Chains A and B, each alone.
Chain A
Amino acid sequence: MRKVLLLFYACLLSIPALFSQSIDFDNYQILKSTGKLPLDLSDYMKEDLINNDNSNKSKRTKKDERDFILQSTYSLNKLLRSGVVIYNDPVGEYLTNILQHVLKANAIDEDIRVYFIRSEEVNAYAMDKNFIFLTAGLLAQVTSEAQIAMILSHEYIHYRNKHSRTEYIENRAIVRDYRNYKTSSTDVRFLMASFSRDLETEADEEGFKLFSNSEYSYTGAVEAFEVLKFSYLPFEEIKYDKNFLESADLVFPQDYFLDELSPIEDKEDKKNENDEKYRTHPDIDKRIVGIQDMVQGKNNTGRKDFVISASNFQDFRKIARYELCRLYLIDKNYEEAFYAAYILLKENPNSLFLRKVVLRSLYGLSKYSNGSKFSSVHVGYKKKQGESQQVNYFMDALTKKEINYTAIHYAWNLHEQAKDDADVTYILNDLVFEACKYNKLTPYSLKTEHPDTNTTLSNDSTSVTDTTNTKKNKYNVIKGEDADKGKNKKKKVSNFIEYAFVGALKKDEFKTLIKDQYKKWEEEEEAKEEALKNKKKNKKYSEDEIDDTRDIESMLVLNPVILKVDMRSNENKIYNASSTKRKELNNNFVNLSGKAGITSTILNPAELTEDDADYLNDMSLLNTAMYEVLSLPGKINMLPTDNLDIKNLSIKYNTPYLANIGVLTFVEKKYGVALAILMGVVTMGFLLPYTIYVLAKPNTTTLVYMTVYDVEQNKFVFSDVTEIKSGGTQDLMGSTLYDMVLRMKKNK
């Protein structure tokens, strides 16, 4: 039996190893869930509720616990169905194996799983159910398995000791005391934070005890906290090469780069004592000292940084870093995505995925710059530390035109190497079009020859091969093992960007590209002028426009948002719609859009079953895509990061239209009710109609919105918000949404 178990365990361990051989980092594909999904939480909840009922605790504690069980199950259920968590993937398996190794070393036999989640945040979470979540941001930062083992041991203690439950109940008690005037409002914050810090310290101490029984190196335990301490920095500290974006034709002036970078300072030092009082986690330096004290005197010989597999660690961390690049792009952290891809390109210089991340970062920065929204995606270099500061300084130094041309330059080079890539071609065309529109690019405005043939030009940068820094992780650099300061300033060449396409212009394809996009821009301008003239002539709405219908036959709809915001008390309370109400609206919407001649498919997480991994992946993709395009400012239209995957999704569901609908109801405070009643009584009923009016008048506003995105045209084809002074009843939602669907179809 033992042999069988050992064999089974070995097989389990070999899954990640087998997987690692098949990862194609050059054409990286995002991680997807597979197999059975652990979505059914009803057993956990039932068991919890029965245990709670049978316990000998006070009535109040029982009630608090019951509330916690219901709320935490609800939140967990939402998280599990959100598409953020990845199931049955090799990274999750690997992380689970690390935790299982620690537990086995402590003779704990528990079925607890670790899930890898798509999040930039450097964090790990545990609730009181047997799930631990570890973010892509954290996995990208760690440098050894031992560090992960320490973090997971810490989280396991949170789970085992039911810290989230204890904290919830304690916080409720603190609030109750506040209501009974036993404490002041500032005390409430302090007490809550203080209790949370105590739980963290307990998790550190007990987690370390578990950790110390495993084979993992003690240094990993200390380093785990250093990872958290410097988590605000990129995952590596590698010097940014000036010539990364340069070529024989494009050389940036030296003063576009900083001579000296800001040193990495300990952010913890800058926090004052008051801040610390209200923090939920103890001061990180104190935690490091605490761990160092625990490690002191312990023999580290024979202990390892890697137990499961060092090569798997490298591969899975790389996956996390690649995933992180995508997450940065989706969240419009273009400079971070740019630097992350730059670091990873050192190791995989031919990765098309990474080059596309660089291109998309430049594309995003250029788009926002042309749309006068650059500041919303750019972080000032003074706020940055370390090597990545150079990137922010460089982006700061570039003008609107220079960013646009630099992006075209990079896109053209990439297009030359990946001619069949639809994304690259689209972005290149779009960037050239924008240059014509915003930066006065014409087929004849670019220089075709360099002014001075003796100008020193740097090497072709598109292949980054300098790997001198790759062996040092960021913590070596922070500790002062790497320093590169002082550069010779060159004279700024103001029109250097005009010469960026001297080489490219020798090719007919590039010339045709500029001519085509310039023509497109001219046509668009003419059409605009024509439309303006027509508008002036026919001020009234023309009947002909009604017939200008879109041929929309079907839509893929994101799960509708139905929220009620109660604004009557000081703190706004937000209520999510019940599953019944949500189901009613979904059915209603499918019916009404059917009546308008449109077949709607709603991707609803409530309908997910354990076998619907594909459905979950589709939902996650749709969620991300809609979030990305909806968070773009009005004037800016951009190709979404997962464009090719979304196109495949649209083929699968047989529609290029992605819709997002929602109903938000705001209940506001009513004023003058008492006065109206008083007046009705005092005037012996003479003002009763006024009293009735005030009492009956709804003080509720409902916003119904719908946006429809066309995947083929990469733009919104319909967007509307209707505000109605009434509650979000089914008749209102149905009528308004039907009207919207019809108007969308009629192109009004």
Chain B
Amino acid sequence: MKRLRPFIILSIFCTLILSGSTFAQVPGYIGKKVHLQGGIKFFPAFGNFPVNLVQPQQYYAVSGMNYRLELGMDFMISRKSSVGFNTHYYNTANYYNTVVVTQDNRAAIDGGAIGAVFKTHLGSWVAPLGSYYRLEAGALIYSVSDPGNNHLGTFPATVGGTGYINNALGRTHIFANRISLDYGAELGFVFPPYEYTTVTGNTNLRLALHYVANVYVKIGGVF
């Protein structure tokens, strides 16, 4: 986490500087140049790659409940584009069943991410309204913990991190000149682990699959 801190601070700093310098010259939505939004994404089932706390090289699992919460802010920098940042919090739990471990067990993955976002609106749309292409890149950290209810004993929490890139196509509607509704689909890429046969390696791989494809709905406001 310490390793990533300078990068995170730099991304936020660059975003604010860039948006601040061009802030006064862009239309925004009827003069509103800040778009704050939050939303939820549900991971598709095929992303449920298990994290095996006992024997990380083995994998087989049934689906668990996965979700990702996001909160971000965009600043309009030109007629059709905006820059901003986006933060994620995600939580996923999977029940795994291995050949060796006969009982069901669970590994809980909690984590967060922060990324710089660049959006460009398609056609003649004026940001932040209408169809857009969105590029997000940033750092992702996670913690894998054991709830401690398996018969093999308690495992200590493992912390790791990696980088990610998201590409999205979406569309924003604005109601009553203030409230925004955003929806779209995204394709993501999480940098692969160095070693697959560790808990962090397994988690990394699992998250990579979680980030591959998503649909999302967000609500927010323009200010």
Contact = CB atoms under 8 A, between A and B. Distances in A.
Interface of A: 546, 591-592, 595-596, 722-726, 729, 731-732, 734-736, 738-739, 742-743, 746
A724 B27 contact: no
Interface string B26-48: 01011100000000000000000
A738 B31 contact: yes
A724 B122 CA distance: 10
A731 B175 contact: yes
A738 to B, nearest CB: 5
Contact of A731 (B31, B79, B124, B129): B129
A545 to B, nearest CB: 11
A725 B129 CA distance: 12
Residues of B contacting A: mostly: loop
28 contacts: A592-B30, A592-B31, A595-B30, A722-B124, A724-B123, A724-B124, A724-B125, A724-B130, A725-B123, A725-B131, A729-B173, A731-B174, A731-B177, A732-B129, A734-B30, A734-B177, A735-B27, A735-B129, A735-B130, A735-B174, A736-B126, A738-B27, A738-B29, A738-B126, A739-B79, A742-B27, A743-B27, A746-B25
B124 A723 contact: yes
B30 A732 contact: no
Contacts of A736: 124, 126
Residues of A contacting B: mostly: helix
A731 B125 CA distance: 11
Contacts of A743: 27, 79
Contacts of A739: 27, 79, 126
- 3 closest pairs, A vs B, by CB? A731-B174, A595-B31, A739-B27
Interface string B55-82: 0000000000000000000000001000
Nearest to A597: B31
A734 B177 CA distance: 9
A726 B172 CA distance: 12
Contacts of A722: 124
Interface string B189-206: 000000000000000000
Nearest to B174: A731
A723 B130 CA distance: 13
A63 B125 CA distance: 44
B104 to A, nearest CB: 30
Q: Which of B30, B79, B126 has the most CB of A within 10 A?
A: B30
Interface string B9-21: 0000000000000
Contacts of B27: 735, 738-739, 742-743
Contact of A596 (B25, B31, B130, B173): B31
A735 B173 CA distance: 11
Given A546-B25, A724-B130, A726-B130, 17 more contacts: A592-B31, A595-B30, A596-B31, A722-B124, A723-B124, A724-B124, A731-B129, A731-B175, A731-B177, A734-B29, A734-B30, A734-B177, A738-B27, A738-B29, A738-B30, A739-B79, A742-B27
For chain B, give the interface size range: 10 to 19
Q: Which of B123, B126, B173 has the most CB of A within 10 A?
A: B126
Contacts of A746: 25
Interface in B115-159: 123-126, 129-131
B118 to A, nearest CB: 19
Given A724-B130, A726-B130, A735 B29 contact: yes
A726 B79 CA distance: 18
B122 to A, nearest CB: 9
Nearest to A725: B123
Contacts of A546: 25
A731 B173 contact: yes
Nearest to B172: A731
A670 to B, nearest CB: 18
A591 B129 CA distance: 18
Contacts of B174: 731, 735
Nearest to B27: A739
Interface in B78-112: 79
B30 to A, nearest CB: 5
A700 to B, nearest CB: 13
A501 to B, nearest CB: 51
Q: Which of A595, A724, A732, A735 has the most CB of B within 10 A?
A: A735
B124 A735 contact: no
B177 to A, nearest CB: 7
A732 B174 CA distance: 9
Contact of A735 (B126, B131, B175): B126
A592 B175 CA distance: 15
A353 to B, nearest CB: 46
Contacts of A732: 129-130
A595 B222 CA distance: 15
A732 B173 CA distance: 9
A594 to B, nearest CB: 10
Contacts of A729: 173
Nearest to A703: B124
A96 B82 CA distance: 65
Nearest to B177: A734
Contacts of A738: 27, 29-31, 126
A731 B181 CA distance: 12
Contacts of A724: 123-125, 130
Contacts of A595: 30-31
A592 B25 CA distance: 16
A631 to B, nearest CB: 25
A746 B27 CA distance: 11
A501 B25 CA distance: 53
B125 to A, nearest CB: 6
A472 to B, nearest CB: 61
B81 to A, nearest CB: 13
Nearest to A593: B30
Contacts of A723: 123-124
Contacts of B31: 592, 595-596, 738
A290 B29 CA distance: 67
A739 B25 CA distance: 11
A532 to B, nearest CB: 26
Nearest to B185: A689
A591 to B, nearest CB: 8
Q: Which of A546, A596, A724, A739 has the most CB of B within 10 A?
A: A739
A591 B31 CA distance: 11
Contacts of A591: 30
Nearest to B31: A595
